[in-house]
Amino acid sequence: MPADREPVLAVTGLSKRFGGLQAVRGVTFDLGPGEVLGLIGPNGAGKTTAFNLISGFLVPDAGDIRLDGHRLVGKKPHEVCRLGLGRTFQIVRPFPRMSVLDNVKIGALGRLPAIGAARERARAIVVEVGLETKMHAPAGGLTLAERKRLELARALATGPRLLLLDEVMAGLNPTETAAIVDLIRAINRSGVAILLIEHNMRAVMSLSHRIVALSFGEKIAEGPPAEVASHPKVVEAYLGEAYVHAPPA
Amino acid sequence: MSRRAQGVAGAAVLALLVLLPLFLGSYAITLFIFIFFYAFLGQAWNVVGGYAGQLSAGHAAFVGVGAYTSAVLSMQVGLTPWVGMFVGGAVSAALGAVIGYLGFRFGLRGFYFVLLTVAFAEICRVVALNTDAVGGALGLYITFTGNPRQFQFQDNRAYYYVALAMMLLATGVAAWIERHRFGAYLAAIRDDEAASEALGVDAFKYKMLAMTISSFLTGLGGTFYAFYLFSLQPNAVFGIPLSVEIIIRPIVGGAGTLLGPILGSFILSPLAELSRAYLQGSGWSGAHLILYGVLLVAVVLFLPQGAYPYLARRLGWTDHAR
Amino acid sequence: MPDATLVAQGLLNGVLFGGVYSLMAVGLTLIFGVMRVVNFAHGDMMVWGMYLAWLGATRLGVDPYASFLGCAALLFALGLVTQRALVGQILDAPHEMQILLMLGVALILENAALLAFGPDPVRVRSPWSAATLWLGPVFVDVARLVTFAVALALTLLLYLFLKRTDLGRSMRAAADNRYGALVIGTDVRRVYAVAFGIGAACVGAAGALVSPIVPFSPSGGLSASVASFNIVIIGGMGNLPGAFVGGLLVSLAESLGAVFLAPSLKELVSFSLLVVILLFRPAGLFGKSPS
């Protein structure tokens, strides 16, 4: 990464242990402005833990996390969000009793305290993610693919510099996946950096500028998608996975 | 029903309520006083229990604290309850802040938070029972002077208007909350606190605000209680039966809705009166609590959102402009 | 400063009464462990156990130490019906609904007792009530001793039931993983109903066993519930051995509290203890926190 660009996210020596298990050990990586960084690794590699550490839901045992130079360690999730980091959850969590619009409105209220302005911005984002037909539908009644879009829309409404996407494509069929990939690309093009955890290798390869691979809590590889995909340590960690040789989409 | 029609209907009902005392006898006025007063308390509870979704079963603590504060200040220092009311409210708010801080800082949710609120109410009750300075088990009796400066009125109708004004005040606060970011954030916290945090909502701060506002308003009600009933007994003013009276109206009427507590009070106060008269022979005046128990069970099983949302759906009143 | 004899007596009484507390708590923790439902009506069910024993003693001349099984059976039926008709309908509802439901049941039970029996405290006279044994400077109420022994026996029986019988195993399976239990064909509804029934039976038996020892009235339901919650939270929700040990501990604490403090402050101790427990030990001494 060119030296004159300050990274959006700088993670240094991140570590977290749960009882006897070292979930994350000394992980270090950077994310440049407008970059898409894929975070891959087998189950239990520490990816979601890393997300929780970065977004303030967990406190690291050691390490530093900086967003645009601001120190994130020790900050609560809502403070982290205010500083410009949005995240989605692995198991989607819409506000079930509220409409799609109202869900997104909650995100928008962060930057636009006036309800009217927030609602308008929310409306625009709902259209942007393609949920216009469900604007007033209760979130509890949406399909899985629609909920994923809602989750994205809500996080987007907070006006983030960086978006953390946790397995957004899990449970989606190929058509839905392709649509979400396009949406994520569009969001990235509008200037939002993206850090995504994903098991869908095809999608990760096609979206990411760079990839970081984790295994048992440690970083085992980092670099452009094709390079990481053929890295011996990564192949070893994923032994048996056929997707490693998937061509870029 | 459009916003405009809602406004007109509301104004009409309000005018009716204002004019009603001209046509009603003393018993009916007393009934309305209780309807308004418990609607006020229910609406105050609604802020934290309905909108914020933090179930409190110990709100009687705030009534008691507010009541004893203004009563003692009036009797010992001669402070007019019109001012004492706000002192009482402030003390209640402080207690509410303590309970809220302990509960929310220590991550007490649902059942644990309910227990915390009940524990505090009971602690207040036992402390009051054992503190001779505030009358101990005998309680406090306020001398009736009928002097408006001492928040006392000869005419029942004056109490009617005070109670009505209080109900409108609490409802006004609830309406403001509903229409602003505060209310939207509370609804998000209620639905999924962690998800709301990820969207920048400081859940702790908003829950604390809700709790403090709720306990402040409830504390104000304590003064009305003291200077309408003229007697403060620890078991009555801090006890679970009062807490139940407070929460049953918004729950039956619709927790987290603007008109829920009011509707609930209009349904329940007359019902309680009827059952009290019916079960008079047993000698136990709290028997209407059985009715409350049955209603709670029925609401949970058949109308979990309360009467108001059900009615609104049936009558086609929907609210898009939110 | 009370003398050593009083303290020793307090300790002894605390341990003996602990048997009852443990039985109460075990019932509550079983219900929570299996269904994740908090039985707010627990104390009021106990009060009904007490009154049923009282009815048995005054109307039928049956000693509570004989009738406790009958009381337990009746409360079992009550628990079964409560679960089938009410709780079972809202197992997937938000927690607030469960709390409100059980609060409603508590109100019904408490005030029905008030209507039926009046507010004045009563006591059951048992031939055992007056007998005492002397152990040096301290004395043991035979009644308390028998109560302790029976409560212990019942708790042990319950433990064996859960560990050794098929139904008990199904219950533990359903507690661990409802859907898993469903998948392997467990009649979860039946398991839940039985669990609630057993929980109620425990507390009904506890009530009957306690009836000759202390005076009681319908308003005692709340403090019995609070004592149960104290114990179960300390011991860990759903943790049976924890509830047992917790019962002894809380009983000791209350008993010693009564020695050192004025009796009118006994309730203050319970509730303050509850606040402290809530703030510092929701995971219980034995680990495992409810999510």
Q: Give the separation between CA C78 and CA B177, rounded to whole angstroms.
A: 43
Sign of the four-CA dihedral B250, B254, B256, B259: negative
| Least confident segment among B23-27, B287-291, C196-200 | B287-291
> Residue B255 is encoded by which pair of tokens?
């927790």
Residue of B nearest to C97 (CA): B300
Is the separation of the CB atoms in B171 and B260 below 8 Å? no
Query: Domain range for residue B299?
Result: 3-314
Residue C135 phi/psi, 5-degree rounding, is -120, 85
pLDDT tier at A68 (50, 70, 90 boundaries)? Answer: very high
Whether residue B319 is contained in a domain is answered as no
Instruction: Give the pLDDT confidence of B192-221 residue by residue, as tens digits.
Output: 999 999 999 999 999 999 999 999 999 999
Contact (CB<8Å) A115/B184? yes
pLDDT at residue B283, as a whole number: 52
A115 → closest Cβ in B179, B195, B198: B179
Q: Give the separation between CA C77 and CA C52, rounded to whole angstroms.
A: 13
Q: Give the separation between CA B243 and CA B269, rounded to whole angstroms.
A: 15
Q: Report the predicted TM-score, pTM, of the whole model to 2 decimal places.
A: 0.90
Other Cβ atoms within 10 Å of A109 Cβ, number:
27
pLDDT at residue B278, as a whole number: 72
Whether residue C289 is contained in a domain is answered as no
Q: Give which of C96, C99, C219, C231 to mutate to test B binding, by max B Cβ within 10 Å.
A: C96
Q: Give the separation between CA C161 and CA C155, rounded to whole angstroms.
A: 10
> Residue A41 is encoded by which pair of tokens?
């690794």
Residue of B nearest to A81 (CA): B200
Is the separation of the CB atoms in C246 and C183 below 8 Å? no
- Kindly list the partner chains of chain B, i.e. chains with 3 or more CB atom pairs below 8 Å: A, C
Complex ipTM more than 0.95, yes or no:
no
Residues ≥6 apart with Cβ < 8 Å to C129: C141, C143, C212, C213
Is the separation of the CB atoms in A199 and A170 below 8 Å? yes
Q: Give which of B112, B295, B302 to mutate to test C binding, by max C Cβ within 10 Å.
A: B112
- Tally of CA atoms within 13 A in the half-sphere of B85 that contains its CB: 19
CB pairs under 8 A between A and B: 76
pLDDT at residue C282, as a whole number: 58
| Least confident segment among A183-197, B176-190, C4-18, C200-214 | C4-18
Instruction: Give the pLDDT confidence of A138-147 residue by residue, as tens digits.
Output: 998 999 999 9
pLDDT at residue B104, as a whole number: 95
> Residue A234 is encoded by which pair of tokens?
């990564």
pLDDT of B320 > 60? The answer is no
- Tally of CA atoms within 13 A in the half-sphere of A196 that contains its CB: 30
Whether residue B216 is contained in a domain is answered as yes
Average pLDDT value for residue range B171-183: 96
Whether residue B195 is contained in a domain is answered as yes
Contact (CB<8Å) C278/B115? yes
**Chain B residues with CB-CB distance to A89 below 8 A:** 195, 198
Other Cβ atoms within 10 Å of A20 Cβ, number:
5
DSSP SS3 for C289: coil
Q: Distance (Å) from the C-alpha of residue A249 to the closest C-alpha of chain B?
A: 32
pLDDT tier at A20 (50, 70, 90 boundaries)? Answer: confident
Is the separation of the CB atoms in B118 and B240 below 8 Å? yes
Q: Distance (Å) from the C-alpha of residue C132 to the closest C-alpha of chain B?
A: 33
Residue written as token pair 């609604």? B46
Contact (CB<8Å) A57/B194? yes
**Residues of B within an 8 Å Cβ radius of A:** 179-181, 184-185, 187-188, 191-192, 194-203, 320, 322
**Residues of C within an 8 Å Cβ radius of B:** 38, 86, 89-90, 93, 95-97, 99-101, 103-112, 114-115, 118-119, 222, 226, 229, 233, 262, 264-265, 267-268, 271-272, 274-275, 278-280, 282
pLDDT at residue B224, as a whole number: 96
pLDDT tier at A32 (50, 70, 90 boundaries)? Answer: very high
Q: Give the separation between CA C131 and CA C186, rounded to whole angstroms.
A: 48
pLDDT of A109 > 70? The answer is yes
Average pLDDT value over all residues in chain A: 90
Name which of A63, A72, A73 is nearest A26 in CA terms.
Answer: A63
- The structural architecture, per CATH, of the domain A9-245 is 3-Layer(aba) Sandwich (3.40)
Measure the CA dihedral B218/B224/B227/B231, to 10°: -50
**Chain C residues with CB-CB distance to B116 below 8 A:** 275, 278
Enumerate residue ranges in chain C where pLDDT < 70.
Answer: 1-2, 128-130, 179, 281-291
**Chain C residues with CB-CB distance to B60 below 8 A:** none
Average pLDDT value for residue range A217-241: 84
Return the CATH number at B8.
1.10.3470
pLDDT at residue C285, as a whole number: 43
B244 close to C (CB below 8 A): yes
pLDDT at residue C290, as a whole number: 41
Q: Give the separation between CA B267 and CA B286, rounded to whole angstroms.
A: 18
Whether residue C145 is contained in a domain is answered as yes
Instruction: Give the pLDDT confidence of A114-162 residue by residue, as tens digits.
Output: 999 999 999 999 999 999 999 999 998 999 999 999 999 999 999 999 9
Q: Distance (Å) from the C-alpha of residue B70 to the closest C-alpha of chain C?
A: 25
Count of structural domains within chain C: 1
pLDDT of B103 > 70? The answer is yes
Q: In chain A, positions 155-214, which contact chain B (CB-CB < 8 Å)? A: 155, 157-158
Higher pLDDT, B127 or C133: B127
Higher pLDDT, A216 or C188: A216
pLDDT at residue B318, as a whole number: 60
Whether residue B293 is contained in a domain is answered as yes
Residues ≥6 apart with Cβ < 8 Å to A28: A11, A12, A13, A14, A219
Contact (CB<8Å) B200/A81? yes
Is the separation of the CB atoms in B236 and B242 below 8 Å? yes
Tell me what percent of the residues of chain B surpass a pLDDT of 90.
70
Count of structural domains within chain B: 1
pLDDT at residue C284, as a whole number: 46
Is the separation of the CB atoms in A50 and A24 below 8 Å? yes
Q: How far is the first Cα of chain C from the last one, in angstroms, to the nearest whole number?
A: 44
Contact (CB<8Å) B200/A158? yes
Whether residue C253 is contained in a domain is answered as no
Instruction: Give the pLDDT confidence of B228-237 residue by residue, as tens digits.
Output: 999 999 999 9
Contact (CB<8Å) C99/B114? yes
Query: Domain range for residue C67?
Result: 16-220
Is the separation of the CB atoms in A8 and A59 below 8 Å? no
**Exposed/middle/buried for residue C188 (C-beta within 10 Å: 0-12, 13-18, 19+):** buried
Contact (CB<8Å) B110/C93? no
A87 close to B (CB below 8 A): yes
> Residue B50 is encoded by which pair of tokens?
């309905």
Domain boundaries, chain A: 9-245
Whether residue C34 is contained in a domain is answered as yes
Residues ≥6 apart with Cβ < 8 Å to B265: B35, B36, B38, B39, B42, B249, B253
Contact (CB<8Å) C104/B110? no
Please provide the size of chain C in residues.
Answer: 291
Residue of B nearest to A51 (CA): B198
pLDDT at residue A15, as a whole number: 94
- The secondary structure of B233-293 as a DSSP string is -HHHHHSHHHHHHHHHHHHHH-TTSSSHHHHHHHHHHHHHHHHHHHTGGGS-GGGHHHHHH
C107 → closest Cβ in B112, B251, B292: B292
pLDDT at residue C286, as a whole number: 44
Name which of A87, A30, A31, A23 is nearest A50 in CA terms.
Answer: A23
A138 close to B (CB below 8 A): no
Other Cβ atoms within 10 Å of A43 Cβ, number:
7
B197 → closest Cβ in A77, A96, A114: A77
Residue written as token pair 């959850």? A89
pLDDT at residue B321, as a whole number: 40
Q: Give the separation between CA C282 and CA C25, rounded to whole angstroms.
A: 15
